[in-house]
Amino acid sequence: MTTKRLGLIGYPLSHSLSPVIQQAALDYNGIDGVFELWPTNADELAARIAGLRRSEVLGAGVTIPHKETVIPMLDQIDSVASTIGAVNTVVKRRGRLIGYNTDADGFIRAMEEKAGFSPIDKRAVVLGAGGAARACVWALLDREATSVVLLNRTVERAAMLRDRLPAELRGRTEIDALTDEACHRYVSIADLLVNTTSLGMLHSEGEDRSPAPASCLHRDLLVYDIVYNPAVTPLLRDAERAGARTLGGLPMLVYQGVVAFELWTGRPA
């Protein structure tokens, strides 16, 4: 039997821990398969997706910057992924490529299980408006957060994210530009601050920067940075100093990977 193949599609991928996590799950389950890094830029994406149709490929993970642009290249989109407008997992079933989003589930499960924090009746501020933000905002509203304030450097992108939400969720969202002043105004009265921007990420342009000023952080806040490398980002370091509770991005990565593994293999991770 040929060795099954899975991989992660994105660029850059040098910081990715997914191969370690997924390979361990394949080996533990006795599946003859490999999980590889498939660095792919925008020009190469269509050819890469076409390559998934080869028989030995089970599917792929999709990450920065392709979670939105991959959608029209697939045969079918799951309803949660369609609502969020972003795909992070491609599964092949009977030759058809189906797009899923496991970020929303992974995001919530990590917060509930690792920080003991439920979003119900909580006020949240989400920084960033990319594919990861779409999943987080939808998940928080779907799980009955009181309100979500979305702050982004490019405020038009935040507006687009809100406009795409189902009408019944849109009324609980607010948008503004990501500035120090906006952070002070909204974070000071929030229960939860989520960073989905790439600021603080190792090997990125803003790796030594925090998306929010330290002075807006406080003791009654959970600060959840979905950046997982480094484990303690500049934002989390400031949050610890301010006495806030903190959660890094590794549990979300693991939980979204658990859901993806189960979709690819049909076996519990």
Strand-pair partners of 151: 127, 176
CB of 148 to ligand ATR, least distance (A): 15
- How many other C-beta atoms can be found within 10 angstroms of the C-beta atom of residue 205? 9
Residue 100 is given by DSSP the state: E
Give the number of residues written for the chain.
Answer: 269
Residue 267 is given by DSSP the state: S
Q: Are 193 and 221 in contact (CB under 8 A)?
A: yes
CB of 30 to ligand ATR, least distance (A): 33
Does 13 contact ligand ATR by CB under 6 A? no
CB of 196 to ligand ATR, least distance (A): 5
Stretch binding ligand ATR (CB under 6 A), from 13-21, 43-51, 94-102, 123-131? 123-131
Does 132 contact ligand ATR by CB under 6 A? yes
- Sketch the per residue contact string, 47 through 76, with ligand ATR: x for CB under 6 A, - otherwise: -----------------xx-x---------
Q: Are 125 and 185 in contact (CB under 8 A)?
A: no
Residue 68 is given by DSSP the state: T
Does 196 contact ligand ATR by CB under 6 A? yes
Cα separation, 6 vs 144, whole angstroms = 35
Q: Within positions 136 to 195, which residues make up the interface with ligand ATR, using CB under 6 A?
A: 152-154, 157, 178
Does 85 contact ligand ATR by CB under 6 A? no
CB of 155 to ligand ATR, least distance (A): 8
Q: Is 67 a catalytic residue?
A: yes
**68 CA to centre of own chain:** 12
Residue 142, SS3? helix
Cα separation, 202 vs 224, whole angstroms = 17
Stretch binding ligand ATR (CB under 6 A), from 26-34, 122-130, 186-194, 241-249? 122-130
Interface residues with ligand ATR (CB under 6 A) are: 64-65, 67, 128-133, 152-154, 157, 178, 196-199, 206
Residues annotated catalytic, as ranges: 67
